[in-house]
Amino acid sequence: MSEIANILIVDASKLARALTKKTVAKIKQDSQIFLAGSVAEALDVLNENAIDLLITALVLPDGDGIEICKHVRSNQHYIPVLVISGDVDRRVQERLMDADVTDYLDKSQGQSGLGFFIKGMLSPDEQVSGHVLYIEDSRVVAHATKKVLTNHGLTSDHVLTITDAIELLGKDKEAVDKYDVILTDYYLKDNETAQWLIEYVREIQQINKIELPLVVMTGDENEKNQKQILKSGANDLVLKPVDTDILMKKVQFQIRFKQFQSLAHKS
């Protein structure tokens, strides 16, 4: 995204680090790129620099890439985190998508897959089409946001309550084909929260984060609460007051990522 300037790439392979750096630099020329070959080196970089995006391998010589993700979540404000792993399908099926990770990318997708992710995150210059389930109890806010969605080529179904949203989702994973992303405010009227919707989608309908991404808007700056939202099954957060440019880039990215993963599994 436009606000991302400092990027940390962590991989035990010097060649992999060089290739990833080349991919990032080609897409976002004004970024400052830090490289690390281990957990220890990554933590040294993080302790001395503010990072806006973390890209890390899962397996490292002195530990697990998740250790770095947890350090980031504990010591910095929310930033996107990509873990490159060889067992993405297993992690999805066994519900091992760690809350500290924004997305996993399968190693088998190579530099083209990585380039797709980075381009979608840092420089999404192509319009994406998709259908959004949007939950917002303020009609004024909803009107403005729906206009932004429309201006970016997205269609949407807007509802005021979680109950109405659940009704639209349908049964037997119908929502996977019906919607490309769910966008919801966290706190709604009558003490409703997006937590109910997240649990319904992830636990009851058993729809995972890749099949149907979920973006939550929240004004809660408490990092523990933000982490809990991600842990419960949200893909990404947009902090209030909402910057519509950031909101759209995050929504568009999740749509692209879903569509990319869907095509990858069909091929």
Concatenated DSSP letters of 51-102 = -SEEEEESEETTEEHHHHHHHHHHHSS---EEEEES-HHHHHHTT---TT-S
How far CA 251 is from CA of 27, 247, 248, in Å, comes to 19, 6, 5
- Residue 176 has a pLDDT of 95
Tens-digit pLDDT profile for residues 53-92 = 899 988 899 998 888 988 887 777 667 788 887 655 554 4
95 has pLDDT over 50:
no
Residues of the chain with CATH 3.40.50.2300: 6-122, 130-266
More confident residue, 250 or 109: 250
At residue 32 the predicted structure's pLDDT band, cuts being 50, 70 and 90, is very high
Dist CA 102 CA 4 (whole Å): 15
Sheet holding 154-159, edge to edge: 154-159, 130-135, 181-185, 214-218, 236-239
Dist CA 213 CA 23 (whole Å): 25
More confident residue, 134 or 172: 134
- Residue 266 has a pLDDT of 61
At residue 120 the predicted structure's pLDDT band, cuts being 50, 70 and 90, is low
Tens-digit pLDDT profile for residues 175-228 = 999 999 999 999 999 899 999 999 999 999 999 888 999 999 999 988 788 888
Enter the tokens of residue 137. Answer: 């109890």
Of the chain, the percentage scoring pLDDT greater than 90 comes to 46
164 has pLDDT over 90:
yes
SS3 call for 103: strand
CATH number assigned to the domain with residue range 6-122, chosen from the 4 options 3.40.50.2300, 3.40.50.1820, 3.30.70.2860, 1.10.760.10: 3.40.50.2300
How far CA 90 is from CA of 85, 86, 95, 132, 263, in Å, comes to 10, 9, 8, 27, 18
257 has pLDDT over 50:
yes
- Residue 193 has a pLDDT of 95
Dist CA 219 CA 119 (whole Å): 28
Enter the tokens of residue 144. Answer: 């403005």
* Dihedral sign computed on CA atoms, order 176, 156, 141, 5: positive
Is the CB of residue 58 less than 8 Å from the CB of residue 66? yes
Third-level CATH fold of 130-266: Rossmann fold (3.40.50)
Could you tell me the pTM of the whole model? Answer: 0.69
Going by C-alpha positions, the residue among 215, 220, 246 that lies closest to residue 233 is 215
Is the CB of residue 84 less than 8 Å from the CB of residue 53? no
- Neighbouring C-beta atoms of residue 191, cutoff 10 Å: 6
Dist CA 252 CA 130 (whole Å): 8
